[in-house]
Amino acid sequence: MANIGFPKGFIWGTATSSYQIEGAAKEDGRGESIWDRFSKTPGKVGDGTNGDVACDHYHRFRDDIALMKSLGMQAYRFSIAWPRVLPSGRGKVNPAGLDFYNRLVDALLEAGIEPFVTLYHWDLPQALQDEGGWTQRSTAEAFVEYSGVVARSLGDRVKKWITHNEPWCTSMLGYEKGIHAPGIKDFRSALAASHHVLLSHGWAVPVIRAASPGSQVGITLNLSPAEAASPSAADYDAFRNHDGYFNRWFLDPLYGRHYPADMVADYIKAGHLPAEGLTVVKPGDLQAIAVPCDFLGINYYNRAVLRSDKVPEAENHPRTVFLAPESEWTEMGWEVHADSLRRLLTRLHLDYAPGKLYVTENGASFSTGPDAQGRVRDDRRLAYLRDHFLAARKAMDAGAPLAGYFVWSLLDNFEWDRGYSQRFGMVWVNYETQQRIPKDSALWYRDVIKANAVSEP
The residues that are catalytic are: 166, 361
d(CA 176, CA 37): 18
Positions 342 through 371 that interact with ligand IFM (CB under 6 A)? 361
Residue 157 in contact with residue 109, Cβ under 8 Å? yes
Q: Which is nearer to ligand IFM, 243 or 415 (CB)?
A: 415
- String of contacts with ligand IFM for each residue 153-192, x by CB under 6 A: -------------x--------------------------
Total residues at the site for ligand IFM (CB under 6 A)?
Answer: 8
d(CA 197, CA 354): 20
What is residue 74's three-state secondary structure?
Answer: coil
Q: Which is nearer to ligand IFM, 252 or 361 (CB)?
A: 361
Q: Which is nearer to ligand IFM, 12 or 424 (CB)?
A: 424
CB of 282 to ligand IFM, least distance (A): 30
d(CA 297, CA 217): 10
Q: Which is nearer to ligand IFM, 17 or 49 (CB)?
A: 17
Q: Give alpha helix (H) positions in 212-260.
A: 233-243, 249-254
Element (H, E) at 146: helix 137-154
Q: Which is nearer to ligand IFM, 166 or 266 (CB)?
A: 166
Residue 416 in marked binding region = yes
Distance from chain centroid for Cα 82 = 16
Q: Which is nearer to ligand IFM, 266 or 415 (CB)?
A: 415
Strand duo 402-408 + 11-15: pairing: parallel
What is residue 116's three-state secondary structure?
Answer: strand
Q: Which residues contact 373 (CB under 8 A, 6 or more apart)?
A: none
CB of 98 to ligand IFM, least distance (A): 23
DSSP 4-66: EE--TT-EEEEE--HHHH---TTSTT---BHHHHHHTSTTSSTTS--SSSTT-HHHHHHHHHH
CB of 364 to ligand IFM, least distance (A): 9
Closest CA to 20 of 432, 398, 422: 422
Residue 436 in contact with residue 427, Cβ under 8 Å? yes
CB of 437 to ligand IFM, least distance (A): 20
Residue 408 in marked binding region = yes
Kindly report whether the peptide bond that precedes residue 327 is cis, defined as omega within 30 degrees of 0: no
Q: Which is nearer to ligand IFM, 225 or 260 (CB)?
A: 225
CB of 419 to ligand IFM, least distance (A): 12
Positions 81 through 100 that interact with ligand IFM (CB under 6 A)? none
Does residue number 408 form part of the binding site for ligand IFM (CB under 6 A)? yes
Contact residue for ligand IFM among 17, 118, 171, 200 (CB under 6 A): 17
Residue 165 in marked binding region = yes
What is residue 203's three-state secondary structure?
Answer: helix
d(CA 24, CA 200): 28
Contact residue for ligand IFM among 235, 266, 415, 417 (CB under 6 A): 415
CB of 18 to ligand IFM, least distance (A): 10
Positions 217 through 276 that interact with ligand IFM (CB under 6 A)? none
CB of 17 to ligand IFM, least distance (A): 5
Query: What is the distance in angstroms between the CA of the first residue and the CA of the last residue of the chain?
Result: 6
Other CB atoms within a 10 A radius of the CB of residue 339 amount to 15
Kindly report whether the peptide bond that precedes residue 325 is cis, defined as omega within 30 degrees of 0: no
Binding-site residues = 20, 121, 165, 301, 408, 415-416
Binding-site residues for substrate = 20, 121, 165, 301, 408, 415-416
Residues that bind ligand IFM (CB under 6 A): 17, 20, 166, 299, 361, 408, 415, 424
